[in-house]
Structure 1
């Protein structure tokens, strides 16, 4: 999150200076690719580099110190760094955003979302999808996921989760019958948590916007940057070949409309789970 905040503010300064990335790169004697990585929050920064950027962008003097302080935070390591051996390349970016988020809006049509999975479901899924993993590697991944899930119940600023799940994902049996029943019961219990809202899209609902949008996560943040602005939301898409992050206003608006359309045909968790139980009986 510090990287994202710093990158956004440096990009705003460059735009206000009416300077292209090419010109900025030439003056700093960097590559355009480096400017792009900085502005998209993909790399940490030294205070010296931030001072140099502020100088060529003509940043107000009272903004330089907060930005250089933010640069120091970009080198901080999160709790997830100890799980570096099991986190997929690039996924640590998402985990950092998830950790900083105030609210997570999600639509999932294939599997139970990771934050809502039981240990048995996670183990069964990993055993089926990643047959090359050793028992130890599966244990590490289960431990990592369970640690992530504590964000929903932590004492200070728990993550608010607003998720819609396709009935197909609930009916799909991952693991044994006992694992499946336990997972459905777990979802019912979580739906009673004040910060968690779970709804289900019945298979018989017909057309809804999720058919086009596919699975996605939108993260909303409480933090404000040194410029006093609330950090804008980001949409995360996990594809077969990699991760995609969207943060343009038009993109965010499009996914908000899609979620509204999905919500319009969704039912509450208990009704949706009973439908899934009947279907898989």
Structure 2
């Protein structure tokens, strides 16, 4: 039974010189010939488009270097390619000057099966340091989230992020630690930018506020930051208090529902995706039934949480408590 209180990644290198390609042998195996736009393919296309633009090439120019028609490259960038070959992805990476580690990640994306639910195991085909989720998040226009353990990366202060990264990567030196923190902070442009910022509907369990990360000073600043963010028109932040019990009767764990906007006809630009982070890998769900079940969970959690005004009051009280 729930009790309502109140009325609410990656560094990029400079492109290398572009050199026309030699003809490729026809015997190269296609890694995937299943039609349809799956999440790995869409992410592959998104990264390739971004790097092509950074290299200063039009679709026509890049396609000519690949000895393709422009429509072939356009389908690949939109995630609609019927046939993807690792050798083609490798050559595109060379043309665009994509660094080796990122190129390995893109080749790994090309090899993923055409499935509607995708388990991305860290280090399996795709290098562990290639962050698939960050690229997906950057394209989202709406995020509906639940977090029961930690402040999400989109809402973290530098000191909170630094404390977590220091624990997660104890062997990193100061320079690498600062790099990780900066990459996390750069993600926040998604909701902070002036033009068309993404909208966020966030439910945080009260335990997130009570779990100390980095000490009292860090927590006071972090919780105050959450209160300030909650005043933004594109951020709806609700706290699920301990008194709400277990609204769903079971634990869903943290999750994010990502949506990517609609076209001129009101149809989704891309299918919505549910992201569930794991310790050894991440789960991406696209099946309509799975997405709908998580939407219902989000709605139930929001109904049992404090409203946005009372959540802000609680946040400010907790921040003062850490400062005392």
Output the TM-score relative to the length of structure 1. 0.70
Unmatched 5+ residue regions in structure 2? 1-26, 49-58, 60-68, 80-88, 94-98, 103-121
Mapped pair 1:213 → 2:218: no
Post-superposition offset of 1:229:
5.3
Partner in structure 2 of residue 70 of structure 1? 75
Partner in structure 1 of residue 40 of structure 2? 42
Partner in structure 2 of residue 120 of structure 1? 159
Q: Distance in 2 between matches of 1:274 and 1:83?
A: 43
Paired residue secondary structure (2:239): strand
Post-superposition offset of 1:136:
1.1
The equivalences for 1:28-177 within 5 A come to 30=29, 34-35=32-33, 39-43=37-41, 44=44, 68-72=73-77, 89=128, 92-177=131-216
**Aligned pair in 2 of structure 1 residues 134, 42: CA closer, same or farther (>3 Å)?**
same
Partner in structure 2 of residue 61 of structure 1? none
**Aligned pair in 2 of structure 1 residues 138, 90: CA closer, same or farther (>3 Å)?**
closer
Q: Distance in 2 between matches of 1:82 and 1:106?
A: 33
Highest RCO, 1 vs 2 (Cα 8 Å, sep ≥ 6): 2
Report which of the two has the higher share of helix. 1
Partner in structure 2 of residue 184 of structure 1? 223
Post-superposition offset of 1:34:
2.5
Paired residue secondary structure (1:198): strand
Unmatched 5+ residue regions in structure 1? 1-27, 48-63
What is the aligned length? Answer: 233
**Aligned pair in 2 of structure 1 residues 128, 65: CA closer, same or farther (>3 Å)?**
closer
